[in-house]
A and B are shown apart, each in its own frame.
Chain A
């Protein structure tokens, strides 16, 4: 069975990152924006693993663990902020959050 060339994985990672970035910019719900950011982080994880394989060292695979932990910590803080704002406004739509301008 032939191997999938690493370039394919990098292309997939690039695609996922782009979907994440565009999604974070166009969606209006804070939680959905945050999910797209998570998608971007996971795209980077895939890139790390692929580069680790191409380079033949383990650094990249170890880095993924750090990224996962940081992403988890980010979820804790981020959801707390979004929930606290949701309690006051009953909406997680970023367009409703408009007290601060210019």
Chain B
């Protein structure tokens, strides 16, 4: 019997390999010499180094793309195209920002452990693999890699019952939803005979989903449609789409605030990257079947997210429901099933990630020890106590609300426009109503900050230089991308270079 061994081109996943190796190295290094280093600075520094090296590799791949074009590597398991690399680079930036914001928090709460940094690295690696996967089984492993890391990170405030409760709920529902994702893979495999999204070139027997759809009759796709529906459920859970959003407010509220920011930015981008590749590329031919489902999800997600946020009293919960509403807006970009829809969604997710990381970092700082001050009433008169922090938070909230001259406005513009072009104007109108409702609760936080007097005797808020610098970066980026979005939009344009057979 002849066995054909595939070429193992590990260079294709060099950034992910670097991140995983750094995580392992970090754990060993800390176990050996960690006690001798007093302030524990080696942990974030080593993590940053890993992220920077990975960024270097990903950036080289991004530049090489012009010569080589999109490539399928590792026996058809991963593809290197503009889309995957755009997502990878954004995720590495998220990881870097969240790392330094988390460190301030961990030091304050006396929770700093090497595991946290290792888990961050594994999570980023998993998310990146999600975007680059061209086979459903790779996608599943990537999904589990970053989910398992996040379950632990959510429960990282070991002494807090809320944090543990959040971790348990997130874990049980996460495991439940990944079973549905897996069943989707099984049905797709049953229909197509392979789990590849495209089909491996050169092998006559192995069809991929895209090739299968190109060669089969519409009657033969029933099982594939069913499988695709289950895949949407599994991924919809990860991006917190209604009706799979039940875990989101609880997990977001219970998790340490920097982890919440990382989840909102990273797992949304990773989940949507998988959805975009799956729906807008592999199942493009089936769009008549999946568009009605996506319309339903988009409309429900936007409305439920916005309406439920209005009645919340906890700032983390408000932002959790706001993140649900934002997932709905991205779904309108997916719905368009066009290149502009894809680049719009990517722009939206990248800018939303930077903004939301900053917002949750601020919540972490303002929350004080053990995050006691996260109720809306704790923000009373913040402007009179810390005008700069109040200003920064207002700006980030305005961006989340989608006010012009912030990145949030441009983001909404670039996801709504393709959807109108594709003939889904009414979905966009629902989206606009949802943003109007959403503006109410963002403004509500601001009213509390500016128009009410602070209570006497509230604890002072300490702002450390590193977190301050990263926060400033996030605010400046939010503003700059609102005023001059063209450079990032051009990059997102290049991200629509998809691999195709």
B is a partner of A: yes
- The residue that A59 contacts in the complex, of B166, B195, B250, with Cβ under 8 A, is B195
A100 & B254 in contact (Cβ 8 Å cutoff): yes
CB contacts (< 8 Å) of A63 on chain B: these are 137, 185, 189, 195
Contact assessment for B155 and A78 in the assembled complex, using a CB-CB cutoff below 8 Å? no
Find out whether the CB atom of B186 lies under 8 angstroms from the CB atom of A48. yes
Q: Decide yes or no whether B164 CB sits under 8 A from chain A.
A: yes
- Docked Cα-Cα span, A51 to B193, in Å, equals 8
Please give me the residue from chain B that is nearest to A33 by CB atom. B172
Task: Select which of B175, B189, B193 is within 8 A of A74 by beta carbon.
Answer: B175
Interface residue total, chain A, C-beta cutoff 8 A: 40
In the complex, per-residue mask of B173-210: 1 if CB is within 8 Å of any chain A CB, else 0? 00110110011011101100111000000000110000
A26 CB contacts on chain B under 8 angstroms: none
CA distance A37 to B144 in the complex (A): 14
Contact in complex: A30, B253 (CB < 8 Å): no
Instruction: Report whether over half of chain B's contact residues are helix, strand or loop; otherwise say mixed.
Output: helix
For B176, list chain A residues within 8 Å (CB).
21, 24, 37, 40
Partner among A41, A73, A88 whose Cβ is within 8 Å of the Cβ of B161: A88
Q: B148 near A77 (CB under 8 angstroms)?
A: yes
B151 within 8 A of A: yes
The main secondary structure of chain A at its interface with chain B is helix
Q: Are B179 and A100 neighbours in the complex by a CB distance under 8 Å?
A: no
Is the CB of A54 closer than 8 A to any CB of chain B?
yes
For B185, list chain A residues within 8 Å (CB). 44, 63
* Nearest-neighbor residue (CB-CB) of B311 within chain A: A102
Classify chain B's interface size. Answer: 35 or more
Q: B483 — which chain A residues lie within 8 A by C-beta?
A: none
Which chain B residue shows the least CB distance to A57? B193
Structural contact, A70 and B164, CB atoms closer than 8 A: no
Contacting A54 at CB < 8 Å: which of B141, B168, B190? B190
Given contacts A51-B190, A77-B171, contact A44 B166 (CB under 8 A): no
Q: Which residues of B contact A70 (CB under 8 A)?
A: 140-141, 144
B38: Cβ under 8 A from any A Cβ = no
Q: How far is the CA of A89 from the CA of B254 in the complex (A)?
A: 17
Partner pick for A66 among B137, B161, B183, B187, CB 8 A cutoff: B137
Q: Is the CB of B186 within 8 A of A34?
A: no
Q: Which residues of A contact B175 (CB under 8 A)?
A: 34, 37, 74, 78
Contacts of A82 in B (CB 8 A): 168
Which of A44, A73, A81, A84 contacts B179 (CB under 8 A)? A44
> In the complex, what residues of B have CB within 8 A of residue A51's CB?
186, 189-190
Known: A57-B206, A85-B168. 16 other contacts (CB 8 A): A30-B168, A40-B179, A44-B179, A44-B185, A47-B183, A59-B193, A59-B195, A63-B137, A70-B140, A78-B151, A84-B155, A85-B167, A88-B164, A99-B161, A99-B254, A100-B250
Residues of chain B touching chain A, judged by Cβ–Cβ distance below 8 Å, are: 137, 140-141, 144, 148, 151-152, 155, 158, 161-162, 164-169, 171-172, 175-176, 178-179, 182-183, 185-187, 189-190, 193-195, 205-206, 249-250, 253-254, 308, 311-312
Query: A: which residues have CB within 8 A of B?
Result: 17, 20-21, 24, 30, 33-34, 37, 40-41, 43-44, 47-48, 51, 54-55, 57, 59-60, 63, 66-67, 70, 73-74, 77-78, 80-82, 84-85, 88-89, 94, 97, 99-100, 102
